[in-house]
Each structure stands twice: as C-alpha cells, then as structure tokens.
Structure 1
C-alpha cells in the first residue's frame, strides 16, 4: 500500500467514528439553543473549555508522549504504565486541591461535576492516544460512534424531559465520556499493559522531555481558541459568550475534517518519519488545503439561511460572526499540519515561539476590539492569532517555497478572506455577490485540479 492509500485508509477508518460523533455534537447545537438560554449555554461552555485546558497541564501532556514513543516501538507496557503513574498522582493532587479549586467563580456552582468530568477526560485522552498508537483504529471509531449515541440520548433525557439545564448538559457529557473511556480500556484490553513494576523512570524522563514543551504549546493554542470567550464573558456577560459559542459551532464542521485528518496524518508522518522537505509532505498539503478551501466556500454560501433554519430566534444573528471564524479554522488547521514535522523530529520546543506570538496577538486584539465592536471583535482576534502562528511556522520550516500551485493557492485564500469580510459587514447577503465570489473561487481551484490530473496522467503514461 503506497503512502497516499495508507493515509486515505487511516483517514477513512478514523473518520467513520470521529465524524459520526462530532457531527452528532454539531446536530445537538440547535437542540441546545431551544433548551438552554444564551446565559446557560455560555456557562456550560465555560466549564467544558476549562476542563479542556486543564487536561495537558494536569497530565503534563503525557498522552502525547505515549503516542510518540509507542509509535517508536518502545515497550508498550512500560510506556503505558509510566503514563498511568502520572495520571494517578495527578488525580490525587486534584482531590487535595479541592478547597482551593472550589473558590474559582466560574466553576464553583458546578464543582463536583467539573472535577468528575476532568478526571474522566484525563483518562479518556490517555486511552485514546494509546489505542490510536496501537493501530486499533476500528475500535477507536466504533467507540466514538457509540459515545455520540449516548450523548444524544442523555441530552434528550436530561434537558428535554428532566429540565436540568446546565447540570443536565454536564451529566450528559460525563456519561458519554465515561462510557467511551471504559469502552477503550476494556475493548483494547489496556489493563494488560498496566503494571506498577513496568513503570520505567528513564523512559518516563524521555517522554516528559518530549511532552512538557507541549504543555505551554497546548495552553497557548487554547488561548487562541478559547480565551476570547472568557474576555467576552468579562466584558459582555455569559449571554454574549453563549451567542459566540453557537457561532463557533458552524466552523466546527470544518474542524471535524481537520481533527480526523490530523489523527491519520500524524500516524502516517510519525510512523514513516516523513519530513517537511519530502515531496509527499507538499503533495498531501495541496490536497488538504484544497479540501479545506472548497468546504469553507460551501459553508460561506449557505451560512445565513442555514443559521436561520437551524437555530432558535434568540440566536438568529450569530451567522455574521461565522465567516472570520471559518478562516481562523483554516489557519489553525494549516498550522497543525506543519506541527507534525516538529513531532517527527521531536523538536517540540520550537513550537512554543510560534504559538506564543500568535496567542499574545490574539489576546491583545481581543482586549482592544471586544469592548468596542463586540462579538465580531473576538472572531477577528482569533483569525489574526492563528494567521500569525501559521505564517511563523511556514517561515520556520521553510515551507513557503514548497507550496505547489502558489498562485492558485494564494488567490483562493484571498477570495475566501474577501468573501468573509463582505458577509461580516452586511445584514443580508446578495445572491449575485455570492455567485461572483463562488465563480472566481471555482476558477482558482479548477486550475489546481487540472494540474493535479495532468501530473497523474504523466506518471501513469
């Protein structure tokens, strides 16, 4: 199986599970808008986002070390057992810190649910990485599909019938993640990999040298993705954050593609030790970027009527915050694509500088723009932060010169940016203007497709 087919197969298998679960989460958004007010949705989102940022901090990002060293053919039992030791210590420390953590204003009313969600997701993250590194992609996908089904049913029961509000939202997530964690643990027989005697201090030290720089990188990445929501909450209240959260769910359709591809891409790149100067690396980026560009254009064309049909009246105007967030997802995904080359060469420390600059710009812009132009300022800040990060990584990896079909690439990106600006400043899209943007975009991407097909004919002849 050649490298393109292998990557395609891995993407398909992971996509069957991940896309199913993530699409289910997206489908729940309109359900949430009917049973949670903007303030309640904003509160629930703050809690879940806080859990997500604490995971790499509390675990020392050891799950990333597990994936990297398992892929490098180190002893699975020693790798897994050493990581489990870190998580056991982390859980004990969290319990000891309970009196302090309960004083945090944004989570104190839901503290015990928050703590249980955090502990369950710590183990879930570790098990997912171990299962993925072990090559058990079908289990990984099936467990994701089952988790999405449980999440749907639990949300209907807790929100529609029991009317539990924010508590119900958190109960549903706890139940779904708890099931997924147990499914991975017993389905992959991970209990066979754990032994206190297998904890290897030398190996653990190497894993931590690799994973520790990923903690600030994860924090900075989170800053660019989520910090705007905290700033919105501070300046405009939890209701504004609820509106922004719903707006961010539409670009999550694009994030689904990225998540699935990144998981498959990291397996191929690390397993085959593919470097960024490899022709395969540039070829995959061409396909990857074109896929993202086309998906973005499709969403931009339907975002206004889509939001009107999908969301309740309290959320009708959120579509105007979406276009800049879509471009931000593109920049984030391109940055993550290049991140794999750092992982292959274990140069995780070099990721920090790019993430740091991007996150600082993001926060400064959010603080400057949100008080004056509101929620749209958060979208702009997120876009600029990810754009700076991507450009810095392009420069650091010398990838500018390796982009294929440069004119079509930059022209396509330019059209999407102009279309996003247009949609963000008007109250109702003009169909003729949308059609012009779409035609110009298709001409740009058509040249890319034409050149790819021409190149393939040459290889086959």
Structure 2
C-alpha cells in the first residue's frame, strides 16, 4: 500500500533526523574540536594566547573562501545534474579540484612571501610568523578534504562521512594534547596540529576519491562551475566577515586578551551553530530533491520539516544561553567567567543563522537566483562591520556581541525578502520572527537569573524553558504541549513516536 501524506512526512523527518544526528555528532568533531578542547585550552592558555588562536582561525576562514572561489558549492549543486552520467561527473569534479589546487598553491605561496604586509590590517599585533603562517599552510590543504565531505553529503553517505570526520578529529586531538600538554608549545600546538591533520587528510581524501575523479582541466566544466560559484564569493566572504568581524575589531581596539574572552563565549554559541549546520547538511539534499520534483506533497514535507527546525532551535538557543554562566563555570577556568555576558547574543546569532539556512536553500537551487544571494549577506556584513566599529569602542565585549546578533538577524531578514519571489514554500514569517524575539528575550532573562544557589538556578531556568516551549508551540502550531509531549516520548526511548507527535501538529498555520 502506498504511504499517505502523514507517512511521507514521517519518512522525510525520520531521514532528516537520522542523518542530522550523524552530521551533528561528526560536525562537532570536525568543526568543534576547539570547543571540546576548551577546558584544556583555558587551563594552558591565557586569554591573550587564546585570542591569538581566535584571530588566526578567523583569518583562515576568510582565506579558505578566497583559495577556492566557492567552487565547493558547484560540486554540491551539479551533482544532481550529472549523477546519472558518472564519466561526465568525474571530469567535472576533476576539473574543479585541479583548478582549486593550482589556485590555492599560488595564493598560499604569495601570502607566505608577502603576508606580513598584506594581512597586517586583519591580524593587528598578532605576529605573522609563525602563527598566521601556520594557518595559511593549513588552509592550503583543507579544500580537498572539504570537497570530499561535500561529495559524501550529496550521496547521503552519512556513515562514511562520520567515519572520516571521526578520524580527522582524533588525529587533531591527539596531536594537540601531545604538543600542548607534553611539549608545552603554547598556542603553536593547536596550529601545528591543525596543519599536520590537514596535510594527512588531503592525501586521504585524494586516495578515497581516486575512482570518482578524472584529473583534468576542462574549460567547459570550469566555466560552468565558475559561472555558478563566482557570484557566491561575495556572499561567502560576507558571511565569513559577519561571523568573525567582531573578534577582529575587538583585537584591533582592545587586544588579544579581549578577543580571547569573547571567543570562549563564542565557543558555547558554537553548539547551536554546529547543530544548525548539521541539520542543514541533511536538509539540503532533501530540499533540492523536493524542489527538483516540484510535487506539492514534497513541498509540504519541506515546509513541515523546516518549521520544526526553526522552532526547535529557538528553544535550544534559549537553553544554551540561559545556562551560560553554569556552562562556563563547568568548562573554563575562572579567568574566562566574564565571557558569560556575551553568550546569549552570540547564541541567537547562531539561531538567526538557522533561519537564514532555511530561507536561502531555494536560491542555491535556482540558478537565476544565485546572483542575488550576496545582496543580503554583503549588506549584512557592512552593517555588522559598521556596528562593531561604533559599539566596540563604547561597550567592549557587549558591543561586539550586539553587533553580531544584529548582523546575522539582518542577513536572515534580507535573504527571506529576496528569496520570496523564488520560494515554492510559503513560510509563516511573522510567527517565526515573533518566536525568535520571544526566545531571545527569554534567554537574556534566564542568563541573568540568580536565585542564590546552583540547584535553584537550574530548576527555575528549566521551568522558564518549559514555558517558552509552550509559547513557541502555541505560536507556530497552536499546540502548546507539542514539544513537551515529544520530549516525553524521547525520554521513554520512543523517537518515532516523538517524530509522529511533531508531524501531527507541525503543519504551519
């Protein structure tokens, strides 16, 4: 018997949940090694040294986009065009990767020779040698591994994705601990560990992809790929600038110690960002497949899953932000306690990014819309930079945090407006915006709550989160008990029943 609409929705959400759980755990390992090692870093590194690491990481994020010209996105997009023609797909991927290797080698060599001058406006007082130079070399090796992970994602090979990411994390962790704890190399330890791991997995990725590639440089393929990716470069650079400009401005005005404190607060916020990107990794192939088919039932599945996505992240964000003082007490040394004040704003910058990911998917699918994506992100980056330059000198860490959440929120709003004309899914924009605002207000209140004891704080904050979950459930689906009923099923070990509860009530109103 053919599955009905509810069965179809349950199937897509089950697949989304299963793959998201794999991507979440592995993305934490892939991108979150610094988060998991935070107790170690804050014990062995002073805030100023941690700030050096934060600045190098921020600069590497920008360089990684310039080194690839966004061509990894073409690997993702055109997989759906060539998946039924393996020889053509092998030529397409091979042409992209050969070009990226040549480009990144040229730019890395140029920066190693002239980076002391070229990068000085970004790195401030951070020495180029050896710190930034180590980052440049690591960035050269990373694009091939990123491309390999993109291939696994598009093929829905989540288990293989997990195995490779776990190996990458394990090597980075072992090397970092050995160099930091045993050798006492300070901030050089994580930078060298990242460089060595990137080099190793450059060759591992090449070996594992050897049967899927034809190493060549076909202009026809490269022209098609660049035609898709180049309009996205301003978007990618702007997104990265929005993500790191707060730390760069803090370093410029207040020094590496302030950047270090702020970055520890950002590490807690990374939990939400990593989870959002993990869910999105599972969501993207499902969305693109549904958009390609264009069937109303498929579009409704995407609408249901996307609304559950943003509702859950509103409540999750309030939880992480509300417990920020307790989490910092548990994970970092006392020197980093002042970072708690910035966590709610940075967490909800991550929640705003979750909204953005939902809205922007249709624009990545529609080739005519790709060129419009930078309208939102470039404007957002410029405003975030301007706000940081104004607010950081006046308000320090808090000014940078407010600039971050405003920048990310504006990016989500602008992309939603631009994407509306292409969007096949009609979202409940006003209700989602209200859910976001109420969740941020709750997070700010809970993070400042002090009932006099740890136990009382935990209990009262949990009560506040329960109330928020009811309000969000009522607002998005007119079902205040939706999250609570699903949570009870999860606690009883019945994830399918929890998914069914969400789907029964999660049709947006």
Q: Give CA deviations for 1:359-388 in whole Å, capped at 9, x if unaligned.
A: 111111111110011011111001111111
Is 1:232 equivalent to 2:250 in the alignment? yes
What's the offset of the Cα at 1:20?
A: 4.2
Superposition pairs for residues 155-174 of structure 1, below 5 Å?
Answer: 155-174=176-195
Superposition pairs for residues 272-351 of structure 1, below 5 Å?
Answer: 272-273=290-291, 278-346=299-367, 347-351=369-373
Moved more, 115-124 or 15-24: 15-24
CA distance, structure 2, for counterparts of residue 232 and residue 454 of structure 1: 42
Q: Give CA deviations for 1:206-231 in whole Å, capped at 9, x if unaligned.
A: 11111011111011101111011111
| Aligned mate of 1:445, from 454, 469, 472 | 472
* Alignment check: 8 A CA contact 1:415 1:440 kept: no
Superposition pairs for residues 146-185 of structure 1, below 5 Å?
Answer: 146-185=167-206
Is 1:393 equivalent to 2:422 in the alignment? no
* Alignment check: 8 A CA contact 2:300 2:425 kept: no
**TM-score (norm: length of structure 2):** 0.82
CA distance, structure 2, for counterparts of residue 40 and residue 293 of structure 1: 33
CA distance, structure 2, for counterparts of residue 21 and residue 128 of structure 1: 10
| Alignment-derived partner of residue 129 in structure 2 | 109
CA distance, structure 2, for counterparts of residue 194 and residue 375 of structure 1: 47
SS, match of residue 223 in structure 1: helix
| Alignment-derived partner of residue 81 in structure 2 | 72
Number of residue-to-residue matches in the alignment: 454
* Alignment check: 8 A CA contact 1:127 1:181 kept: no
* Alignment check: 8 A CA contact 2:112 2:133 kept: no
Q: Give CA deviations for 1:251-278 in whole Å, capped at 9, x if unaligned.
A: 1111121121111111212234367993
Is 1:10 equivalent to 2:19 in the alignment? yes
Superposition pairs for residues 167-246 of structure 1, below 5 Å?
Answer: 167-186=188-207, 188=208, 190-196=209-215, 198-246=216-264
Is 1:259 equivalent to 2:277 in the alignment? yes
**TM-score (norm: length of structure 1):** 0.90
* Alignment check: 8 A CA contact 2:315 2:465 kept: no
Across the aligned residues of Structure 1 and Structure 2, the Cα RMSD in angstroms comes to: 2.9
* Alignment check: 8 A CA contact 1:22 1:256 kept: yes
What's the offset of the Cα at 1:3?
A: 3.2
Change (3 A) 1:78 1:454: closer
SS, match of residue 82 in structure 2: coil
Is 1:402 equivalent to 2:426 in the alignment? yes
Change (3 A) 1:276 1:124: farther
| Alignment-derived partner of residue 436 in structure 2 | 413
| Aligned mate of 1:366, from 388, 411, 424 | 388
What's the offset of the Cα at 1:422?
A: 3.6
Is 1:384 equivalent to 2:411 in the alignment? no
| Alignment-derived partner of residue 57 in structure 1 | 66
Is 1:249 equivalent to 2:273 in the alignment? no
| Alignment-derived partner of residue 456 in structure 1 | 504
Moved more, 226-235 or 256-265: 256-265
* Alignment check: 8 A CA contact 2:308 2:506 kept: no
Q: Give CA deviations for 1:253-305 in whole Å, capped at 9, x if unaligned.
A: 11121121111111212234367993223212211012212211221332112
Gaps in structure 1 of 5+ consecutive residues: none
| Alignment-derived partner of residue 57 in structure 2 | 48
What's the offset of the Cα at 1:435?
A: 6.2
Gaps in structure 2 of 5+ consecutive residues: 1-7, 483-499
